[in-house]
Amino acid sequence: MNPLRTSRALVAAAAAVVLSFTSAGFANGAAGGALRDHDDGDEITVGIKFDQPGIGLKTPDGTYTGFDVDVATYIAKQLGHDPADIVWKEAKSADRETLLQRGDVDFIAASYSINDKRAEKVDFAGPYLLAHQDVLIRADDDSIKKPSDLNNKKLCSVTGSTSAQNVKDKIAPDAQLQEYGGYSECLTGLENGVIDAVTTDDSILAGYAAQPEFKGKFKLGGFKMSNENYGIGVQKGSELKAEINTALEKMVADGSWEAAVKKNFGPAGYQNEPAPKIGVIVQ
């Protein structure tokens, strides 16, 4: 036997095997639209907030609750995944685009407002909720009935948030801004009378106010000072966008969307907007 011919044959065979595995791997990564590789074919990774009661919260016992969790679980089921298949990953506001671009998650449901700047980097399914900037005040406070009543009031939001500054710049220039490290601190200040109002998205405020320890203590102003169209973030060009839109339409049609709103926001008296139409962004 010619040793050189045998060596060439072995090299050719090895190259064929490598090419076969590479082609299979590419097909598995691109065909499904998820653009991610999983150790378990049934696994799906979803980005949510871990620290927003009513929206996305990781509880002390390691479970996850909130409207975005319910929406994401419904979507995952429509994509063929049981709840046990979902790997929840924290998606902080500043990290959301990076998580999607790197392929660390399949999709993100994390009070993720659709805007042009974000849409340059990722795609959005939805919207699935129309929220508004609002204020939370004490239930017995009748002094704040309209946005301009926030003048000379102590208005709280979290450090780095633009919500309170928007109120001061555009609505109540004499509001006294107070920045705390987190919304929980703002609510404690509101409960104790140190703060007069807390501002951010009404859905987030309703989620906090719906917690058992705050039940009946606070109310939403209902001021609708901005429109926040929450969307499901997916990787740019992902086929999941169309599949998720179909799932969202079904969630509205079968009543699951309304049930999730009432379950997570109802205790705060949240007057939600009707479910938005897919692809319609309210300015």
pLDDT tens for each residue of 209-255: 888 889 899 999 999 999 999 999 999 999 999 999 999 999 999 99
Asked if the structure places residue 140 within a domain, the reply is: yes
For the sheet with 86-90, list strands across it.
86-90, 44-48, 107-108, 228-235, 122-131
Give the pLDDT band of residue 13 (cuts 50, 70, 90): very low
Domain membership of residue 118 as a residue range: 44-131+228-268
Same domain, 115 and 247: yes
Taking residues 79-104, what's their average pLDDT? Answer: 96
Query: Does 85 share its domain with 50?
Result: yes
Residue 21 lies in a domain: no
Higher pLDDT, 223 or 21: 223
- Residue 107 · residue 186 · CB < 8 Å: no
163 — pLDDT class (breaks 50, 70, 90): confident
Q: Say yes or no: 137 and 78 in one domain.
A: no
Is 7 inside any structural domain?
A: no
**Do 173 and 183 share a domain, yes or no?**
yes
* Structural domains in the chain (count): 2
pLDDT of residue 162: 77
pLDDT in tens, 60-75: 999 999 999 999 999 9
- Whether the full predicted model's pTM is greater than 0.85, yes or no, is no
Measure Cα distances from 107 to 68, 73, 77, 248 in Å: 12, 11, 13, 14
